[in-house]
Structure 1
Amino acid sequence: MLKIFIFSVLLFATTLLNAQKTVPKPYGAIPTQRQMDWLSMERYCFLHFTVNTFTNREWGLGNEKEDVFNPTDFDADQIVSTVAKHGFKGVILTCKHHDGFCLWPSKYTEHSVKNSPWKNGKGDVVKEISAACKKYGIKFGIYLSPWDRNNPLYGKPQYITYYRNQLRELLTNYGDIFEVWLDGANGGSGYYGGANETREIDRKTYYDWKNTFAIIRKLQPKAVIFSDIGPDVRWCGNESGFVEDSCWATYTPHGPNGDQPGIGYTMAKEGETGTLNGESWIPAEVDVSIRPGWFYHPEEDNEVRSLKSLKEIYFKSVGNGACWNLNVPPDRTGKINAHDIKALDSLQDYLAKSFATNLLLGAKVTASETRGNIKKYAASNVLNDNKKLYWAVNDNTTTASLSFQLKASATFNCMEIKELISLGQRVRSFTKEIEKNGRWIPVYKGSTIGSQKLAKFDNVTASKVRIIFSNSLACPVIESVKLYKVL
């Protein structure tokens, strides 16, 4: 009996070891944990708020008086709770925009809330917003403009020290930061402490970004760094609310002339697509405003985006494997405006109803192939929400399929597919088909998938569905598949 027991244990151990050896190798650039945590957020909100809110400008000149900033009823709870209850997972606050005015009492400048009449100079917008984020269980991020049209040092080497000192204040005094947002607008005309002149800088070298990134890594190791060159998250290349259907999370940035890139010095269109077999994993963020402008302007109250527009952005951002950063600017009271809330209400109602029922629940799934014929990689794993389970095929297979038999015939128009991105982005193209009268009919042809693809098509009715993954860069590794009838 003992020999049988030992043999059984050895057999089990050998089988387990062999199964572990069959784990697909990562392909190409792969995400860090901070990037995967960020991608799981899917959507969050920008809060553009500063002196521009009160001067009715988009870009302040840098000569605005501190007493311009004076919200009549600032309410961080109202702002953050509005964001949270509408399903957004975080906020990014413009702690300092190009005008140089600081929404916290920075000890390195007088151009801040400490010299405004708001709360008699004792207020701190950054502190209140970050505290409200903690209260409502969403994440807090910061925007610190590299350009400063107020500071007399801008354009000189000493400014970099000033910028890093303010960055350290924000990274050490306000709790956990999920994203540091670096704008590509750098250099030009400004007040610059009274100089009122134009100061141009070399965007590729002036800021010494490598050493600034090191400060962020040390003080906030879980924070992703956003810019049009990454290193963690890239700009989508436009402010219109989309990335292309073919969107790679891998990315190799280039300068406008194919030369060395810099923040504010890239081929913007490359941000919309990423780079096939790019050097680094730098997925896209889609930043777009709910209004025509980035800051609140009362004349735009009747120009807030419609539900149709917000739906389109959702599918072209989150639905193409990017994260959506929707700007919702506080108004002059210091709250989210009622017109914006109405738009957010309609969006949240749409998403809640559209994605309430996964029509693949209870379906039977089969695959053209299963890796090593091991249950660990079974097709049924794609119907499980356990992120540690997935379907995979053998290494040399680059075209494979999944077939689903629904419990009953149903009408649907959207399929959600996710690759196991911890092993890289692999799928180059896929086709969604339904069976009708014994024949397979294509209803959607797509390209990349990555962290998520929401493949939306006209309403169809069927009980059998198939996805064909073709010409993949490496064997397909699929985490999950869901099916919906969206409104």
Structure 2
Amino acid sequence: MKKLFSLLAAAIALGLASPTQTQAQVKPEALRKQQLDFVNLGFGMFIHYGMPTFMDQDWSDPNASLKLFNSPKLDANQWATAAKSANMTYGCLTTKHHSGFPIWNTKTTDYNVMNTPFGRDVVKEFADAFRKNGLKVMLYYSILDTHQEIRPNNITKSHIQLIKDQLTELLTNYGEIHSLVIDGWDAPWSRISYDDIPFDDIYYHIKSLQPNCLVMELNSAKYPGEALFYSDIKSYEQGAGQFISKEHNKLPAMACLPLQQNWFWKKSFPTTAVKDVKQLVNEFVIPYNDAYCNFMLNVAPNADGLMDENALVALKEIGKLYKQTPKYTQLPAYEAPIVSSNIAKKVYSNSSWSDDMNIMDFANDDNFGSAWVSNAAASTAPWYELTFDRTKSFNTIVITEGKNNPATYTVEYFKDGKWYNLNAAAKEQGRIKIFRFDAVLGSKIRLNIKTKNAAQAVLNEVGVYNERR
């Protein structure tokens, strides 16, 4: 027994923490400092490089021949020098894109860069070169992996373990990783939910390996811009139509766009004009920096592993226009990220009289574009109710209202045959209201709604969570 206690103490000392201990590493004040530091980095280089580079595609064949991959002239120091010429402060490399080809020395699959004619660890060369040049190191990682068949309606426990194992390699073998950009997860086009692959499990796994590593999920195609849903940084892929509001954003944010026509290199790039650098700096980088948003500009290395001359020239011109990164001392008030599973998603719901077809299940259908709307003839005391299949523990409720339909709410929960008032105040972020409170047990939740001027209540989504604290 004494030996067992000694082993447990040693494990804790080495940081081999339980989920509860891992959660203690994500302290709100520390996270806010990391978010502030990220915003103040201002401008960095996104680098899409991988199997698509050799196929004239942005998504490569998931079973493309390993023989295709060969860039004997690859020089990550050239990439870093180019980034510095544009007054960038960091680089972010695609370690694995959606077709599932890792460009690091991984033990998780034989389908990787080390088994190609190139045979070099690109992640290591990138990390070493950028650090040598005084630049921060960030990595991109895709959850969607069509080579390993990590795709909708096909997720297994072994897939989840593979993801954890690959992230462990990336966050263990390459030094400090400032931020991790996650893609191909809960987006309309990827359709792998945060329940299929539990977001909080992956999130806290990342934090257990590197507590200071920020998680940036590219999910703005689905989740509203007023709160940090499943991301430490609100992230916008401009090329996919995800545009930040420069006038209204109050969250730490990142926006990305390619300098060239696409994310990965194409044979046409050397002879095709890149984007206008003055427009990039004056309409994107600087205004976004002024809106708490870090801008990530993608530059794609060619099949030789080098950046094309027209891209290098453009980066130097950018450096003449962009001279100074932001110097925020604090960010606006905002709530900590929501990272737990939504236990209200698609459970039985009920409500007061609805408006035509906008019935109750539209408010918990996991779609922020649909809504339950109260009927105008019954707008004096509308209510909305969720019923679970059994008594559950929960400590957070998030209400996303219609954009022009603000309301106040009193919340009740049903336990052991009685209704109890939930004495918790909402933190308002635009049209989103976040209630956080000590955990309670209940089988139902009811929102009693009071709208302004007897207007109709509009609920785009009601989420219920049992967060790790």
Is TM more than 0.5 here?
yes
Q: Does the 8 Å contact 1:30/1:422 carry over to 2?
A: no
- Which residue in the other structure is 2:276 paired with? 306
Q: How does 1:35-114 map to 2 (within 5 A)?
A: 35-114=35-114
Residue among 147, 150, 155 paired with 1:150: 147
Task: State which drifts further: 298-307 or 160-169.
Answer: 298-307
1:218 Cα deviation from its structure 2 partner: 1.3
Residue among 272, 275, 293 paired with 2:262: 293
| SS of alignment partner, residue 421 of structure 1 | coil
In structure 2, what is the Cα distance between the partners aligned to 1:330 and 1:84?
Answer: 16
| SS of alignment partner, residue 49 of structure 2 | coil
Q: Per-residue displacement from partner, 1:124-160 (whole Å, max 9, x unpaired)?
A: 0001110112211111111110000101465232201
In structure 2, what is the Cα distance between the partners aligned to 1:142 and 1:237?
Answer: 16
1:66 Cα deviation from its structure 2 partner: 1.1
- Which residue in the other structure is 1:215 paired with? 205
Residue among 315, 321, 340 paired with 2:311: 340
1:34 Cα deviation from its structure 2 partner: 1.1
Q: Per-residue displacement from partner, 1:59-86 (whole Å, max 9, x unpaired)?
A: 1131111111101300011111211232
The number of aligned residues is: 293
RMSD: 2.9
In structure 1, what is the Cα distance between the partners aligned to 2:233 and 2:55?
Answer: 32
- Which residue in the other structure is 2:246 paired with? 245
Letter of the 1:46 counterpart: F
| SS of alignment partner, residue 236 of structure 1 | strand
Distance change >3 Å, CA 168–CA 78, structure 1 → 2: same
Q: Does the 8 Å contact 2:143/2:183 carry over to 1?
A: yes
- Which residue in the other structure is 1:226 paired with? 216
Q: How does 1:462-473 map to 2 (within 5 A)?
A: none
Letter of the 1:307 counterpart: V
Distance change >3 Å, CA 60–CA 288, structure 1 → 2: same
1:188 Cα deviation from its structure 2 partner: 11
Unaligned runs of 5+ in 1: 1-27, 190-199, 251-282, 356-415, 426-472, 474-487
Q: Does the 8 Å contact 2:186/2:194 carry over to 1?
A: no
1:241 Cα deviation from its structure 2 partner: 8.5
In structure 2, what is the Cα distance between the partners aligned to 1:226 and 1:145?
Answer: 12
Distance change >3 Å, CA 306–CA 87, structure 1 → 2: same
Q: Does the 8 Å contact 1:31/1:422 carry over to 2?
A: no
- Which residue in the other structure is 2:330 paired with? 421
1:29 Cα deviation from its structure 2 partner: 10
| SS of alignment partner, residue 91 of structure 1 | strand
In structure 1, what is the Cα distance between the partners aligned to 2:210 and 2:162?
Answer: 19
Distance change >3 Å, CA 305–CA 241, structure 1 → 2: farther
In structure 1, what is the Cα distance between the partners aligned to 2:39 and 2:32?
Answer: 11
1:422 Cα deviation from its structure 2 partner: 5.2
Letter of the 1:96 counterpart: K
- Which residue in the other structure is 2:17 paired with? none
1:315 Cα deviation from its structure 2 partner: 3.0
Residue among 305, 330, 333 paired with 2:301: 330
Q: How does 1:164-175 map to 2 (within 5 A)?
A: 164-175=164-175
Unaligned runs of 5+ in 2: 1-27, 220-228, 335-429, 431-469
In structure 2, what is the Cα distance between the partners aligned to 1:423 and 1:285?
Answer: 16
Letter of the 1:56 counterpart: D
Taking only the aligned residue pairs, the percentage that are identical comes to 25
TM-score (ref. length: structure 2): 0.58
In structure 1, what is the Cα distance between the partners aligned to 2:31 and 2:137?
Answer: 21
Q: Does the 8 Å contact 2:40/2:326 carry over to 1?
A: no
- Which residue in the other structure is 1:456 paired with? none
In structure 2, what is the Cα distance between the partners aligned to 1:128 and 1:94?
Answer: 13
Q: Per-residue displacement from partner, 1:397-417 (whole Å, max 9, x unpaired)?
A: xxxxxxxxxxxxxxxxxxx99
In structure 1, what is the Cα distance between the partners aligned to 2:273 and 2:185?
Answer: 25
| SS of alignment partner, residue 256 of structure 2 | strand
